[in-house]
């Protein structure tokens, strides 16, 4: 059973040099005596929120602050559901809701439970909340089924923990990176506007990747409805012109600029100051070009590495390579937004990175994971962070 693997996990982590403290739910104590974890960890085991072992502190708050990393292993469908919905009714869930430290969840359950829509929905919610998952492996399960649902092996989890605490390379330390994200909004009148379907997710992922690689990030974003990343300077804008001015004000000191925003190409030439009333006849809307931000930055480029995006619905390679030349960009990240399962608004993306005499296609993956791989490839190809 998975809970016995947890005993081995505590042993492996302790042998690797980690200081481990164990919390158990009441159900877990039905399978393994807390004494087993106490022997392996050389620390008291916490099973009751109200059992304060040290009167100087509140146990679940103290543990939540003490840990550098919290691993829930094995994580049942029940505990995953409680965490996803903010329920804190035992020592484990109460501590997890009180912590600000990284949390990893290692699920273990029947294969059909793992594939149930409610469990999938709860995992997705927790992932969006910043919790990371150690995927279960496939094999013979305690219930008699064969399939995906086995707790990952203790050795593999221990290796992941060791890698997590290795000193991280920060190739962008000391570099200033500007990232634009999301749509722009061009007003027709006080209640109507022109815009597009960009959610800002890919741009935000690029900003977070740059931040995690050590950069001083300036994020310039249009109107979005997703959480704003932390750990960077944020400039909120509405129109294409406002976005251009915001980027230009930071451009001279930038080392890298990633133009991920979906900027309107046109805006109403004469936006109305009052709501345009409906009439019995057709009406025309006169449009004028907005500033081509990428082309303007390319023309003004001195030392900056300029990365643009090309969201296309056809002839992706042709338009992307043409954009690379016309806009004087160093790299273009192109994707086909005609596919409903990727691109605008989705969690996944499939792109091809084009550079001068360089091309690399990336398979479909989570946008955050993709952003890291894009930056790593761009830095390797350009040598900007050497």
**pLDDT digit string, tens, across residues 347-380:** 788 899 999 888 999 888 889 889 999 999 999 9
Superfamily of domain 176-265+290-382: CoaB-like (3.40.50.10300)
Determine the average pLDDT of the residues in 297-318.
90
pTM of the model: 0.62
Q: Which residue has the higher pLDDT, 109 or 328?
A: 328
* pLDDT given for residue 330 in this prediction: 96
Instruction: Name the CATH code of domain 2-164 (choices 3.40.50.1950, 1.10.287.990, 1.10.1370.40, 3.40.50.720).
Output: 3.40.50.1950
Q: Which sequence spans correspond to the domains of the chain?
A: 2-164, 176-265+290-382
Q: Which of 1, 19, 39, 143 is the catalytic position?
A: 143
Q: What is the mean pLDDT of the chain?
A: 89
- On the question of a common fold for 2-164 and 176-265+290-382, the answer reads yes
How confident is the model over 170-202, as pLDDT tens digits?
899 999 999 999 999 999 999 999 999 899 999
CA atoms of 231 and 254, how far apart (whole Å)? 17
Instruction: Provide mean pLDDT across the span 299-308.
Output: 96
Active site residue 186: no
Percentage of the chain beyond pLDDT 70 is: 94
Q: Please state the rounded mean pLDDT for residues 121-147.
A: 73
Residue 332: predicted pLDDT: 96
pLDDT recorded at residue 137: 66
113-131 residue pLDDT tens: 888 999 999 998 898 888 9
Report long-range pairs for 274-283 (Cβ below 8 Å, ≥24 apart).
274/189, 274/190, 275/189, 275/190, 275/191, 275/192, 276/188, 276/189, 276/192
Q: For residue 339, is pLDDT > 70?
A: no
């Amino acid at each position: 059973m998975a809970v016995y693997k947890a005993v081995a996990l505590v042993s492996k982590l302790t042998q690797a040099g980690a200081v481990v403290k164990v919390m158990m739910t009441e159900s877990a104590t039905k399978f393994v005596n807390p004494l087993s974890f106490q022997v392996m960890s050389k620390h008291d085991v916490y099973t009751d929120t109200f059992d304060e072992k040290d009167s100087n502190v509140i146990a679940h708050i103290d543990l939540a602050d003490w840990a550098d990393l919290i691993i829930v292993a094995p994580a049942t469908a029940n505990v995953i559901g409680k965490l996803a919905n903010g329920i804190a009714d035992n020592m484990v869930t109460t501590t997890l809701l009180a912590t600000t430290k990284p949390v990893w969840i290692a699920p273990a359950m029947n294969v059909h439970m793992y594939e149930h829509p409610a469990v999938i929905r709860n995992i997705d919610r927790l992932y969006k909340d910043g919790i990371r998952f150690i995927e279960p492996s496939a094999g013979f399960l305690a219930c008699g089924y064969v399939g995906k649902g086995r707790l990952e092996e203790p050795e593999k989890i221990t290796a992941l923990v060791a890698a997590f605490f290795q000193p991280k390379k920060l190739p962008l330390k000391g570099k200033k990176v500007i990232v634009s994200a999301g749509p722009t909004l061009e007003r027709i009148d006080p209640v109507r506007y022109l815009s597009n379907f960009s959610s800002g997710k890919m741009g935000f992922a690029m900003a977070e990747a740059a931040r995690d690689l050590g950069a001083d990030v300036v994020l310039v974003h249009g109107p979005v409805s997703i959480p704003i990343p932390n750990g960077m300077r944020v400039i909120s804008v509405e129109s294409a012109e406002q976005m251009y001015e915001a980027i230009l004000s930071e451009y001279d000191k930038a080392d890298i600029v990633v133009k991920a925003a979906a900027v309107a190409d046109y805006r109403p030439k004469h936006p109305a100051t009052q709501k345009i009333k409906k009439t019995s006849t057709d009406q025309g809307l006169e449009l004028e070009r907005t500033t081509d931000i990428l082309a303007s930055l390319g023309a003004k480029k001195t030392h900056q590495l300029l990365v643009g995006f090309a969201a296309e619905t056809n002839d992706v390679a042709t338009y992307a390579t043409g954009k690379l030349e016309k806009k004087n960009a160093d790299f273009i990240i192109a994707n086909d937004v005609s596919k409903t399962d990727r691109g605008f608004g989705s969690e996944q993306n499939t792109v091809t990175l084009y550079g001068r005499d360089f091309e690399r296609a990336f398979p479909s993956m989570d946008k955050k994971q993709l952003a890291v791989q894009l930056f790593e490839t761009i830095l390797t190809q350009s040598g900007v962070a050497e």
